[in-house]
Amino acid sequence: MQIVYIEAVADAEDLVVINPQWLCSDVIGQLLSHDHVTRCRPIGRFSLDEVHVMFPDSSVVKLVTLLQTMELCSAVVEDSETVEFEFMSLNFVEASDHFVNYDDDDGNDIRTQQTGWVYGGVRLVGSRGLGLQLTSVFPRVQTRLHRQLDAVTGSEDCDLDQWYGGSRLMTCGGSVQLIVSASVDSHIIDIKCRATPSCRLVAFRLTASVCHLVTNVLADCLPSLAVEQQTLSVGDLSKPTSAMLSAYAPRDVRQMLESYSANIDKNSSSDSAAVENVVNLVAFGSTELFSTLTPGASLPLSVGLSVSTRRAVAKLLDQSHPTGHDWCMLAVLIGLGSGELESLDSSKSECSPTDRCLATWIRRDGDNATVSALATKLSTLGRHDALECLLSGLPVFIYKSLIPTSQE
Q: Strands 83-86 and 74-77: what pairing?
A: antiparallel
d(CA 90, CA 41): 8
Amino acid letter, 228: E
What pTM does this model have? 0.84
Q: How does pLDDT run along the chain (408 residues), one tens digit per residue?
A: 788 898 876 667 888 999 899 999 999 998 888 788 877 888 888 989 989 988 998 889 889 989 998 899 999 887 767 789 999 999 988 888 888 876 544 444 444 445 589 999 999 988 766 667 788 899 999 999 999 998 898 867 899 999 999 999 999 988 999 999 998 777 889 999 999 999 999 999 999 999 999 999 998 888 878 888 999 999 999 887 666 889 999 989 988 888 877 665 555 544 444 568 899 999 999 999 998 888 888 889 988 888 888 888 999 998 888 887 888 889 889 988 777 777 766 555 678 889 989 999 999 999 999 999 999 999 999 999 999 989 888 888 887 665 555 555
Residue-range domains of the chain with CATH: 4-90 (1.10.10), 104-246 (3.30.310.200), 301-402 (1.10.533.10)
H-type helices in 184-306, by residue range?
Answer: 200-221, 234-237, 250-265, 278-283, 287-290, 301-304
- Indicate the residue type of 220: D
Amino acid at position 366, single letter: G
d(C-alpha 8, C-alpha 16), whole Å: 11
Report d(CA 294, CA 198) in Å as an integer: 23
- Determine contact, residues 48/85, Cβ cutoff 8 Å: yes
Q: Alpha-carbon distance 206 to 186, whole Å? A: 24
